Copies of this chain bind each other. A is one copy, B any other.
Amino acid sequence: MSEKIVVGVDIGGTSIKVGICSMEGELLHTFEGPTEVEKGSDVVCDNIAKYAKQIVEESAYTWEQVEGVGIGIAGFLDIPNGIVKKSVNLFFDNVPLKAILEEKLEKKVLVNNDANVAALGEAWAGAGRGISDCVCYTLGTGVGGGVIINGKVVEGFAGMAGELGHMVIVPDLEAIQCNCGQMGCLETVSSATGIIRMAKDAVERGDRTSLSFVENIAAKDVIDAAKAGDEVAARIVTRAAYYLGKSLGTMAVVLNPQRFIIGGGVSKAGEFLFEQIREAFKKSAPAMAQEGVEIVPAILGNDAGVVGAAGLIIRS
């Protein structure tokens, strides 16, 4: 076999996930091994190189067929130079990841942040396949995102593009402070954390809701209660969907992407949530910026990171 393959690496605090993809984005093979952050960045880098070589050896492919290795990592990065300036989870401090791994692997290595990489995965080989312009949201603990224009991730001047959770979208009168210091960020209402906070507030206020009987409320509890007809829970989910839809409206006039892709734990609420997002979007952008624009769920799940990391080699 002489066709080329790309390798993607998704570095988490506990495990490193590695995958082989075809040049078309098909995930052919995956492997997961411990990160061993406690042993320091040299060992973590060794592990990355080891797992990457191992997965290819164990596959039907050879190392010669590897076009390059892409890496997704959480932290503050110098993307062009592939330097991890700071990664809190990994205890990385100015680690020249790209340079280290290019030496170890003797292949082209590209590094980008985990949110951008997951967005690229969906855009390249997931719910955005075949689409050149899309915007991805991940509704998890926070609200992450990635903007894809002409098939490529927009990184921004300081790598801060795609920080969609920090769009200020909640009006001052009902805004609360975000972890970033701003008031009214999208993340304060449309993340799992935001939904849980609103539910706890409702319970504390004494609102009549089935959530009063739930210990340690999770976002899923609120969504399930809303689906079951709990009005207080329904209002919370509607609020999360409303501000998300409103932010989509802003994106529509700024970038007019063909498709919005929404993933992350909260998105598992499914059509119940998506219908409300679409309804809010409809009211939040001029008709021409909405025409033909789709709002769809992400489809790669946890593979988005490793697929997108591999995609960096092709889409950079």
Contacts and interface: CB of A to CB of B under 8 A. Distances in A.
A182 interface: yes
B254 A251 contact: yes
A301 interface: no
A297 to B, nearest CB: 19
Contact of A158 (B160, B162, B288): B288
Contacts of A255: 147, 154, 156, 161, 254
B257 A293 contact: no
Contacts of A163: 253-254, 256, 286, 289
Nearest to A250: B167
Interface in A155-169: 155-164, 166-168
Q: How large is the interface on A (under 10, 10 to 19, 20 to 34, 35 or more residues)?
A: 35 or more
A173 B152 CA distance: 39
A257 B156 contact: yes
A181 interface: yes
A255 B167 CA distance: 11
Nearest to A162: B254
Contacts of A188: none
B253 A286 contact: no
A291 interface: yes
A154 B161 CA distance: 15
Given A149-B149, A154-B255, A284-B168, A160 B250 contact: no
A150 interface: yes
A166 B252 CA distance: 10
A255 B145 CA distance: 11
Contact of A252 (B160, B180, B288): B160
A159 B133 CA distance: 12
Given A168-B249, A171-B171, A172-B171, A161 B292 contact: no
A149 B154 contact: yes
A276 interface: no
Interface in A89-136: 133
A258 interface: yes
A164 B254 contact: yes
Residue with the greatest number of chain B CB neighbours at <10 A, chosen from A157, A159, A285, A286: A157
B246 A168 contact: yes
A283 to B, nearest CB: 8
Contact of A157 (B161, B168, B257, B285): B257
Interface of A: 76, 133, 147, 149-150, 152, 154-164, 166-168, 171-173, 180-182, 246, 249-258, 284-286, 288-289, 291-293
15 contacts: A147-B254, A154-B256, A156-B255, A158-B289, A159-B256, A160-B253, A160-B286, A160-B288, A160-B289, A166-B285, A167-B250, A182-B286, A250-B250, A254-B254, A254-B255
Given A149-B149, A154-B256, A158-B289, 16 more contacts: A149-B150, A155-B256, A156-B289, A157-B293, A158-B292, A160-B289, A161-B255, A163-B254, A166-B253, A166-B285, A166-B286, A166-B289, A168-B249, A168-B250, A171-B171, A251-B254
